Amino acid sequence: MRAIRVRELGGPEVLRVENVDDPTPGPGQALVRVEATGVNFIEIYNRKGIYKSPLPYTPGEEGAGTIAALGSGVTDLRVGDRVVSFNLKGSYAELALVDASRLIAVPDEVSTHDAAAVILQGITAHYLVTSLYAVQPGDTCLVHAAAGGVGLLLCQMAKRRNAIVIGTVSTEEKAELAREAGADEVILYTKQDFVAEVARITDGKRVQVVYDSVGATTFEKSLQCLAPRGMMALFGQSSGVVPPFDPLLLLRNGSLFLTRPTIAHYAATRDELVWRAGDVLGSVRDGSLRVRIDRAVPLGEAGEAHRALEERRTTGKVLLVP
């Protein structure tokens, strides 16, 4: 099969297509013929060495397709079933292995591309608004990168819970997308100080929660946007890793809460995974949650997909098509 292999850390150019042996499913595993692969920042972090992966390796965890083969002990799935997962091992490939317990059936009314585009980011947005900080009617939340893949989903989900949503974006085009997704107010951080704008919009009351996937360039200012006892959810670091800081900063800004979550801890069990995935895919199926796919590019253009994501040239999800 064809797969992207990373043999050295570095820029997007280290993502190269190679021919490798087809994987064979072991006990409890399924082999998925990948039809669409979700591209995520975690693969950029791996490629750069921020998160460690033994070399050489095939990137990717998110994807959707059909089951090509089953290992022993798997009785509730069939070859040919349409499935999606964010636990595929090496989904930048034509075939990928996964523990069968981490697969989710794709509803007939949901396309494979939409399933691949929404499963990881949709569940991320879901746990952020339902569990990490359970958004209540009337809460005000600040969503950074509001026109990105998670950002657009966060705006929709928070608005459905009757929150007041403030988004930050870099361009007027992205601002319009954020508004379409439910953002009540949109701040162009390239032209405006988002701390001052949040204070103006909220009449100085500030926000109950900040959803920050940007990291280094927004972190301290995000804390300044929080009301006393507010929650800072730092769930990404697209601009770089937040440097060490004095915890007294949380006290000075109002006895704040800070968390650095990961999806692995919010979909740890089969039951929780099925619940969150069912909510997300069900909302896509009935049209109440819109999935925006920025681009779907051939597997061999994985490097360009990474460049577009890193340079913030995307609005919505980036897919690879093996």
User: Is the same domain home to 149 and 250?
Assistant: yes
Distance between CA 201 and CA 151 in Å, rounded?
A: 19
Indicate whether 131 belongs to any domain.
Answer: no
153 band by pLDDT with thresholds 50, 70 and 90: very high
pLDDT tier, 51 (very low <50, low <70, confident <90, very high otherwise): confident
Query: What is the tens place of the pLDDT at every residue in 54-76?
Result: 999 999 999 999 999 999 999 99
- Does 142 lie in the same domain as 173? yes
Q: Of all residues in the chain, what percent carry a pLDDT higher than 90? A: 94
Same domain, 275 and 202: no
Q: Are residues 46 and 146 in the same domain?
A: no
Of 237, 260, 283, which marks where a domain is finished? 260
* One domain for residues 251 and 216: yes
| Domain with 285 in it | 2-119+267-321
Please write down the HEC assignment for all residues of 24-92: CCCCCEEEEEEEEEECCHHHHHHHHCCCCCCCCECCCCEEEEEEEEECCCCCCCCCCCEEEECCCECCC
Residue 254 lies in a domain: yes
* CATH number of the domain that residue 280 is part of: 3.90.180.10
- Assess whether 167 and 92 both reside in one domain: no
Which residues, at least 6 apart from 18, have a Cβ–Cβ distance to it below 8 Å?
2, 3, 4, 5
Domain co-membership, 142 together with 252: yes
- As for how many domains the chain has, the answer is 2
Q: Is 130 part of a structural domain of the chain?
A: no
CATH classification of the domain holding 180: 3.40.50.720
105 and 36 both lie in a single domain: yes
What's the confidence (pLDDT) of residue 237? 87
Are 272 and 202 part of one and the same domain? Answer: no
Q: Among 240, 260, 280, where does a domain finish? A: 260
- Within a domain: 128: no
Q: Do both 252 and 151 map to the same domain?
A: yes
pLDDT given at position 312 = 83
The answer to whether residue 126 is domain-embedded is no
> Does residue 211 belong to any structural domain of this protein?
yes
Distance in angstroms (rounded) separating the CA atoms of residues 60 and 5: 10
Q: Which of 260, 282, 305 is at the close of a domain?
A: 260
State both tokens at 14.
């280290």
Is 218 a member of any domain? yes
pLDDT value, residue 239 = 86
Let me know if residue 104 belongs to a domain: yes
- Exposure letters 2-19 (e unless 16+ CB within 10 A, then b): ebbbbeeeeebebbebee
Residue 177 has pLDDT above 90, yes or no: yes
Residue 91 has pLDDT above 90, yes or no: yes
**Domain shared by 108 and 9, yes or no:** yes
How far apart are alpha carbons 247 and 225 in whole angstroms?
17
Both 276 and 235 in one domain: the answer is: no
What are the pLDDT digits (tens) for 98-134?
A: 999 999 999 999 999 999 999 999 999 999 999 999 9
Can you give the pTM of this predicted structure? Answer: 0.94
